[in-house]
Amino acid sequence: MFYKIARKVSKLYANFAKKLSMKLKSLPFVYMATLLTALQFLSCKLTEKSRPAHYSAAFDWQGHRGCRGILPENSVEAFLQALEYPEVTTLELDLAVSKDKQLIVSHEPWFNPSICRLPNGDSIPRSAAERHLIYEKTVAEIRQFDCGSSGNPRFKDQKALKTHKPTLREVVAAVRAKYPNKPIRWNIEIKSEPAYDGIKTPPIEEFVALVVQELRALNLVSSSNIQSFDIRPLQILHRTAPDVELAYLIENADAMEKNVEKLGFVPQIYSPYYILVSTELVDKCHQKGMKLIPWTVNDVTAMRRLIRLGVDGIITDYPNKIAEVGNRM
């Protein structure tokens, strides 16, 4: 009995050893096949990333604050430089308001200590930044602050140069003088928050009225849009100036439908942070009749991905990178 059991165990062991040997022999092949498959997948992905992305003639390339990655933001020099790149169709900028009710091109309603210096050349202490409010200074006083010589610590390739925060009128005049025959669009952001009203900016109704007045005076209505994260100026414009095109800036991860419901109407442009863009979002925006133009995209691979998703334009700090992306069809 023991002998029969021993023979059966021996036979089972021999069969197991044979199968194990065959599996071990096949492992290098399995590994090689897996490796080759992975390499092919990665190769396809790398090829996709490096493959030029072609876009339509109507695609809207926008120079963010002119060309912040190249020259000081929101300066006359940056706007003129952005238009040196033939693909750029729109200049993106921000507005604050001076003490003498002029529209000042500035991202903050104060002098950012990272990029601006006091009239005497001293740096601005961070603790004192918001004590130097644009709304409390005249245009003449604002021009004395240097907002370019310090460069920008976030943009190492930016060329430092002495410059000031200009008025919107000053920027438009300079652009028209240098590019009299070039069609140019303007994407103009109203920098407002409820906490700013009457302190860092005019009350919102007055702010909006000043912007509309200047758009009409400069004959910009048909070649511009107003954008904002703050829904209040968009709602006021929708109600009082229906001929002004509107863009809703988005930085939250809420559904597009929820954001539009909060706004109360469908704007012409939906402008989210570019990381939030998906094929589904592009399709839903287009179904509602909205263009989708994301901000702020500074990586060529990301630009190509967004173009393939079907966005209608891209806002970038680096218009000098656009040529790497692809070309118009």
pLDDT in tens, 191-201: 999 999 999 99
| Torsions phi, psi for 214 (to 5 deg) | -75, -35
**What is the domain-level CATH number for residue 142?**
3.20.20.190
Q: If you search the block for the tokens 């602050």, which residue do you land on? A: 145
Higher pLDDT among residues 46 and 301, named by residue: 301
283 lies in some domain = yes
Report pLDDT digits (tens) over 212-249.
999 999 999 999 999 999 999 999 999 999 999 999 99
33 lies in some domain = yes
The residues with which 245 forms a beta bridge, in sequence order, are 225
Helix axes 204-217, 231-240, angle to 10 degrees: 60
64 and 39 both lie in a single domain = no
**How many Cβ atoms from other residues are within 10 Å of residue 218's Cβ?**
18
34 and 127 both lie in a single domain = no
* pLDDT at 32 exceeding the cut of 80: no
* pLDDT at 315 exceeding the cut of 80: yes
164 and 215 both lie in a single domain = yes
Q: Residue 49: its pLDDT value, please? A: 74
Range of the domain at 37: 1-45
213 and 110 both lie in a single domain = yes
149 and 106 both lie in a single domain = yes
Please answer whether residues 248 and 227 qualify as being in contact, where contact means their C-beta atoms are separated by less than 8 angstroms. yes
225 lies in some domain = yes
223 and 301 both lie in a single domain = yes
50 lies in some domain = no
41 and 79 both lie in a single domain = no
80 and 186 both lie in a single domain = yes
19 and 156 both lie in a single domain = no
Report pLDDT digits (tens) over 126-178.
999 889 999 999 999 999 999 999 999 999 999 999 999 999 999 999 999 99
Instruction: Give the list of residues 6+ apart from residue 237 with CB closer than 8 angstroms, or none.
Output: 208, 212, 226, 244, 246
Percent of the chain with pLDDT over 90: 83
91 and 161 both lie in a single domain = yes
Residue 18 corresponds to which tokens in the numbers above?
């044979």
115 lies in some domain = yes
282 lies in some domain = yes
Q: Residue 50: its pLDDT value, please? A: 84
- The model's confidence at residue 183, banded by pLDDT at 50, 70 and 90, is very high
Written as one string, the DSSP assignment of 12-24 is HHHHHHHHHHHHH
261 and 138 both lie in a single domain = yes
**pTM (2 d.p.):** 0.86
Q: Residue 55: its pLDDT value, please? A: 97
Average model confidence (pLDDT) for the chain?
90
Average pLDDT for 56-75 = 98
Q: Residue 48: its pLDDT value, please? A: 59
274 and 169 both lie in a single domain = yes
55 lies in some domain = no
Question: How far, in Å, are 29, 113, 119, 125, 166 from residue 116 at the CA level?
Answer: 63, 5, 9, 10, 13
- The model's confidence at residue 15, banded by pLDDT at 50, 70 and 90, is low
Segment holding 207, helix H or strand E: helix 204-217
**Sign of the alpha-carbon torsion through 51, 57, 58, 63:** positive
- Side-chain-side CA neighbours of residue 111 (13 Å): 30
For 277-285, the CB contacts below 8 A with 24+ separation are: 277/306, 277/309, 277/311, 278/309, 279/309, 279/310, 281/256, 282/309, 282/310, 282/311, 283/310, 284/256, 284/257, 285/256
Identify the weakest region by mean pLDDT among 44-53, 54-63, 75-84, 115-124: 44-53
Q: Residue 11: its pLDDT value, please? A: 54
Higher pLDDT among residues 1 and 312, named by residue: 312
52 lies in some domain = no
Domain tally for the chain?
2
Give the whole-angstrom CA distance, residue 65 versus residue 216.
Answer: 22
Hey, what's the torsion of the CAs at 169, 131, 138, 212, to 10 degrees?
A: 40
Identify the weakest region by mean pLDDT among 9-13, 35-39, 48-52: 35-39
Percent of the chain with pLDDT over 70: 85
Q: What is the largest CA-CA distance in the chain?
A: 111
Identity (one letter) of the amino acid at 130?
A: E
